[in-house]
A and B are shown apart, each in its own frame.
Chain A
Amino acid sequence: MIWAEKYRPKSLREIVGQRKAIEQAKSWIESWISGNPSKPAALFHGPPGCGKTATAYALARDYGLEYFELNASDKRNYSTLKSLALPSSISSSLFGERRRLIVLDEADNLNPREDSQATRGITLLLRSTRNPVVLTANKYWEVPREIRNHCLLIQFNKLKERDILSVLKRISSSEGLEVSEEVLMEIARRSLGDLRAAINDLQAVGSTGLDGLGYRDREENIFQALARIIKSNSMQSAKASTSGLDMTPDELLTWIEENSPRVMTDLRSIAEAYYYISRADQFLSRVTRRQYYGFWSYALELMTGGVALSKKEIKFSKFQSPRYVKEMASTAKFRRIRDSIASKISEKCHVSRRIALSEYLPYLSLMIKHGKSLSEFFDFTEEEVEYLRKWG
């Protein structure tokens, strides 16, 4: 489990370094509870990892409100807001008589031009809501004014190193980590006031040790991840095995491709696994071609879950780093020559380099192998050669 979630504050008392913001948030929510809200919404603004969402969550817990978060950016269109957030904003909770706290994360990620519909939806929501709404943003001035006008602005400060250090100490002692104070201070210093980042760093250091960071750590990680992917029995766990892996899907695919046949025992499973690998590869190439990184998620599911579910039995085998990478390195010289041939053909014949390679290169290679000139190769008669000479 990610520590940043495990140690998410359960009460406002656990939040560090935001005393003033918390006072404001409390009196705003109390105005709601007493039935006379000062503003329908509060806009929590401040740098990343300073406790905005954590405060919203703790606020809901301390005041017995149901926490309802609408964060994914793909839900930010007018119709979703209208069909999902609006009913939610005017209804109380299903669990007894509690109200709900509605949280819209990253309200500054609305592009005013593209998301004017979303802006309209949020404005409508804020006008009609009968539940308190919290919006979060890094920069309040990037939240559209129509929305801001309905909000009480509450500023969150960048956290100080000593606040971060105090949390890191608390977590490392409850996890039983043996990390020196200097290391904790270093993590706090590097976090630049982002507590979430600091906790993630602490977790990384805690699981591998400081020496383990860097390249070796990464190699170890891919082996563990591969083992977990291949052992998985569900899409979900296979895909989850890649979280925290610092590797692009393209790289990961070469590792999976190299190692799946090593551990699978029967040919049918291997064939099935390769089917999913090739499907994943198709999506990866679409990512490049269309510059749409949303396809990464499909590719990941296919290459992890698809492969994991293809296996019947697995045998023990040592994982190897992908031969593809080594071969690409050893063939670099040849590829360079091939590419330079392609550019020359492409220039003279006015074709793309791809066409030059697929359509022209085979013939040229044959001609050169047999040491023939063009007219010899095509077996032109003298008449034909003469015609060609005068043509055009």
Chain B
Amino acid sequence: MLRLVMPEAKTLRYSIEAISNLIDEGSFKISENGIYMRAMDPSRIAYIELQLSRDSFETIEVDEEVSVGLNLGELKKRFSAAKPSDYVEISMDKGFFVIRFKGKGTTTFKLPIIEIEEEDVPVPNLTFRANAKLRSSALKEGVKKVGIVSDTIKFILTREGVSMVGESDLGEVEFLLERGDEDLISLEVEEEAKASYTLSYIEDVVKATAASEVVSISLNTDHPLRMEFFISGDAGRMIFLLAPRIEQ
């Protein structure tokens, strides 16, 4: 028996959109504690972890933990077909992952479950000395503005605020959230930090902001970046790690 119900499709829809551009296929662990997935992108510079606890679901009936391998591109297409407000029910049927949306009529998708080579995804072990919590919409805004000028984004965390900087032959751009800005929820900086990252990876992952109100950003100078998106309060989270660009 496996049946999970979510009153609104948007959480799954937007979190899947965020990861499907980075990873082709994923193995989802489904148990009575919810849904869990982690993976590294093929170029091995990004790591993604998605946890949707049982509080994210209205109903959760799972007899035993299962691992379900799915093609994320296909999964994304199915969820894109749903309205964010659709009611979602997930079940399994003989080799198929069954997704049912109720909104305008009832749509049932059956998606083949694929076998995924069980790869030991190592968990990068990192500690950070600069942390900020901000509204996800502000992160999205900053990423968008940097993208106008550059394909690299530099995050700078100081005791005064968070800034996102882009530099290229076309000039420079800075998006700044000063301490006290209502979009900057908290800022803890033991040591100021800055590092640059490939923007396209972050553009992909900020799609999750549609399912998340708050994101925390952690950083050390020239070290990997950690972003944690909080989904529906504290019921779910998406953790994203990205290796920095090597400065010349």
Number of A-B contacts (CB under 8 A): 60
Complex contacts, A92 vs chain B, CB 8 Å: 222, 243-246
A interface residues, how many (CB within 8 angstroms): 23
Complex contacts, A95 vs chain B, CB 8 Å: 122, 124-125
Cβ-defined contact, B115 with A131, below 8 A: no
B222 CB to closest chain A CB (Å) equals: 7
Q: Given that A94-B241, A236-B115 are known contacts, is A88 also in contact with B246, CB under 8 Å in the complex?
A: no
Cβ-defined contact, B44 with A235, below 8 A: no
The answer, among A83, A88, A94, for a CB contact under 8 Å with B224, is A94
Cβ-defined contact, A94 with B243, below 8 A: yes
The answer, among A94, A96, A97, A99, for a CB contact under 8 Å with B45, is A94
In the bound complex, what is the Cα–Cα distance between A386 and B104 (angstroms)? Answer: 75
Cβ-defined contact, B198 with A87, below 8 A: yes
In the bound complex, what is the Cα–Cα distance between A94 and B40 (angstroms)? Answer: 10
Is the CB of B223 closer than 8 A to any CB of chain A? yes
A31 CB to closest chain B CB (Å) equals: 16
Chain B interface, DSSP helix/strand/loop, else mixed: loop
Cβ-defined contact, A88 with B43, below 8 A: yes
Cβ-defined contact, B201 with A87, below 8 A: yes
The answer, among A87, A234, A235, A305, for a CB contact under 8 Å with B43, is A87
Interface residues on chain B, size class: 20 to 34
B55 CB to closest chain A CB (Å) equals: 30
Contact with A along B20-42 (1 / 0, CB 8 A): 00000000000000000000101
Chain A interface, DSSP helix/strand/loop, else mixed: mixed
Is the CB of A68 closer than 8 A to any CB of chain B? yes
Complex contacts, A88 vs chain B, CB 8 Å: 43-45
Is the CB of A343 closer than 8 A to any CB of chain B? no
Q: Give the interface centre of B42, B241, B242 by most chain A CB atoms within 10 Å.
A: B42
Complex contacts, B224 vs chain A, CB 8 Å: 94
Cβ-defined contact, B246 with A91, below 8 A: yes
In the bound complex, what is the Cα–Cα distance between A100 and B40 (angstroms)? Answer: 15
Residue numbers of B with Cβ under 8 A of A are 40, 42-47, 115, 117, 122, 124-126, 198, 200-201, 222-224, 241-246, 248
Residue numbers of A with Cβ under 8 A of B are 66, 68, 83-85, 87-88, 90-97, 99-100, 130-131, 234-236, 305
